[in-house]
Structure formats: C-alpha cells, structure tokens
Structure 1
Amino acid sequence: MPKNESEITIEIGNLPGISARSDALKSYTGEDGEVATPVPGGKLHRCIAVSFCLLCILQAALNISLRLALSFQQNSLTEEREELKRQLNDYAFQQNSLTEEREELKRQLNDYASQQNSLTRERDELKRKLNDFANYAQQGWVYFSDSFYYISSIKKTWQGSRDDCLHRGADLIIINSKEEQVFTRQFEKIMWIGLTDRETEARWEWVDRTLLTTSFWYPGEPNNYIGRNEDCVETWYYNDDNSWNDVVCENQNFWICEKKMAL
C-alpha cells in the first residue's frame, strides 16, 4: 500500500446535517493502523468544571457542616462546663453551710457543757454551804447578815480568844456597820472583838489588818485608863449604842467569833 494510505484524515466538517457536531469531533488513524476514539473536548472541559464546582460546593457545605457541628459541640461543652461549675458551687455552698451548721452545733454543745459544769459547781457549792450551815448551827453559831457568829460560854484573854476563833476556822468579830454593832449588843455580855493597837499605839487595826474607819467607842474611850497599856477592845457598855472600851489584853472575857459565809 502507498505510504499515505496509513494516515487518512476524514474531513466531516462540510458534511450536510452534522456541521455542528463536526466542530467537536475528530478522529485519526494511528501508526499501526488502529482508529483512535473520538475525543469530545468541550464537553469534557465542561464536565470537569461542573465537577470541580460541585466539589467546591460540597467542600464548602462540608466545612459549614463541620463548623456548625464544632460550634454546637463547643456550645454544648461550654454549657456543660457552666452547669458543672454551678453544681460545684452548689456543692461548695452546701459544704460551707454544713460546716457552719456543724460549728454552730459544736458551739452550742460547748455552751451547754459549760452551763452544765457551772450548774454542777453551783450545786456542789450550795451543798457545801448547806452542810456548813447545818454544822455551824449544830455547834450553836448564829447566822446574821452573811456571817456566822459564835459566842463563847467561857472566858479567856484576848489572844486566847482569838486562837479559839482561828481554831474554829473563823476570827474575832470585825464590826463594819451600825446593824452589826446592834447585833452584838443583844447578847448582853462583855466580849472581846477583833480590834487592837498592840503593834502601834493609837493605830487601831482589825484582825484582818484593815484600819478602823467606823467606830462605836463609849464616850471618853479609848483612854489607857490610869496609865495602863489598854491595847485590846471589848464591848463593855452593851446597853448603849456606843459600847466599845479599851482594856488590858490579859483580862479574861467572853468573846465573839465571826465566820463570813454569804448565801
């Protein structure tokens, strides 16, 4: 065969009825004599363009969907976090409330225990006082104005009288008021009281070392009568409001002890 027979090109552009189709179709025969498949060039480009647009749209839709999903998930996580924080705050508030309630209950319990201890001590003190009252009353002591008084039935010196009072857990009487002075006069006895100036002349002190402030001296007393060293005091003129008299401490007299015991 002639060489040009292997490369035959068919012109179909001018054939009647298919002029529009001929612009898009071409064919050729290869070197081995095979005829190549016609290639629709314009349509392929359009398909590729459409496919690319669809892919872009699909990618955009996917991006939007992913963003919406992520946003929704983020909002959901944020709400869950806020809810957990709220619950945590509620638990913390409840914990603080329970702690405060516990501390208040502990404080009340301590108060009740303190009151109980105070009442117990008060009860024990009252029982002790009751026993003391009964004991002193049985021994002949007389109660007056927050004190018990013991009036002796024998006579001793001033110091001997005081020693007896101290042995009884008391001391010679200290007269601080008009009412107490009137109380001593009712026994109508000459009795030692707890007043002396033995340490310093004319410095009258009670047995508790307090200085004399309120006195009930008989007129003219104290006087160290006829030069005697009269350093101790007795209730001599008990018929008078002012009954005190200073005498020699070695004289023998009844005496009156005082034991402070307030109710």
Structure 2
Amino acid sequence: MSDSQHRSLAEERDSMKALLMNLKVELGWVLFKCSTYYVSSEKKTWQASRDDCRQRGADLIIINSEEEQSFANQFKKYMWIGLTDLQTEGTWRWVDGTPLNTSYWGTKEPNGDSEENCGDIKSFNAKNSWNDEKCATSLNWICEKKVCP
C-alpha cells in the first residue's frame, strides 16, 4: 500500500469515527448499514410524520432491500414509511421521487384506490408487511438519514 493510499484510508477512518461520535449524541437513532433510523414513540399523520423527519435532517424511510425491510419490521410497529401515490393514483413513489421497483405489499395490498394514498408497515410479522392507508390516519413513523457518501 502506498503512502497516499494509507493517508486516504486514515482520513476516511477518522471521518467515519467523527460521524459515529456525532450519531451517538443523537439519542434514539439506530445505525444500520449506511443509514441511521429514528422510530417515533408518538403518532402523527403521514405528512406530519414526514415533517418531523425533515426537522431532524432526515426523511421517511425508503426501503431498498429485503435486508432493510427485515430491519424495519423488527421494530414491530404499525408505522409510516416514505411511500405514496398522492401525485398520481396507482403510481407509488418514494419520498425522494424514485419509483417503487421492489415492494413488500401485504396480501391484496395496495387496495385503497384514491382513499388510501400513503404507505405503512402494518403486519410486521410477515416479510410482505406493507399496507396503503388514509394519509390522515395517525401512526408511528420511521425516519432515515443516510450517513455514508
């Protein structure tokens, strides 16, 4: 390994240590892979939940893998995720605007047509735990903040 590679790795290590120290200060956040997550203890509407996440420098969770789906289910809470079809009925998108490609909808979900436009984790004991719900319903929620470049 060259000196420049060694310096680069040392700088990256120091940067990650500083980041982890900052995360330890944020009580209530859980580190998993390249994100940190906050699970609420109170209940709010989908939009109010998203607003809370944004005030924390995060957004509602975007589930990108089966591993992350299992991680979210482990909290065993009926909670909002960052999924909605409010913009175009039947076209589910994540809060960052990306289309839904891989999904974990529960049996016969989504089923709410124009009445239920926000996504949540409902039957967390199953891999396919997602449900569509009326956005005005008050639920717990889960925020996600990326911590890796």
* TM > 0.5: yes
Residues 62-211 of structure 1: matches in 2 within 5 Å?
118=8, 121-122=11-12, 125-136=15-26, 139-211=27-99
2:119 — aligned with what? 233
1:135 to 1:217, Cα distance in 2 relative to 1, 3 A = same
1:181 to 1:127, Cα distance in 2 relative to 1, 3 A = closer
Native 8 Å contact 1:228 1:248 kept in 2: no
Greater share of residues in strand: 2
AA aligned opposite 1:177: S
Deviation, 1:147, is 1.3
Native 8 Å contact 2:49 2:141 kept in 1: yes
Secondary structure of 1:162's partner? helix
**Structure 2 gap segments, 5+ residues each:** none
Native 8 Å contact 2:89 2:114 kept in 1: no
Deviation, 1:120, is 7.5
| TM-score, scaled to structure 1 | 0.52
Deviation, 1:123, is 5.8
AA aligned opposite 1:232: C
| TM-score, scaled to structure 2 | 0.88
2:108 — aligned with what? 220
Rg comparison, structure with higher value: 1
Deviation, 1:118, is 4.6
Native 8 Å contact 2:36 2:145 kept in 1: yes
Secondary structure of 1:166's partner? helix
AA aligned opposite 1:168: R
Figure out how many residues of one structure are paired with residues of the other and give that number.
148
1:116 to 1:241, Cα distance in 2 relative to 1, 3 A = closer
Greater share of residues in helix: 1
1:200 to 1:118, Cα distance in 2 relative to 1, 3 A = same
Structure ranking higher on relative contact order (CA contacts 8 Å, 6+ apart): 2
Secondary structure of 1:237's partner? coil
Aligned residues with identical type, % of pairs: 55
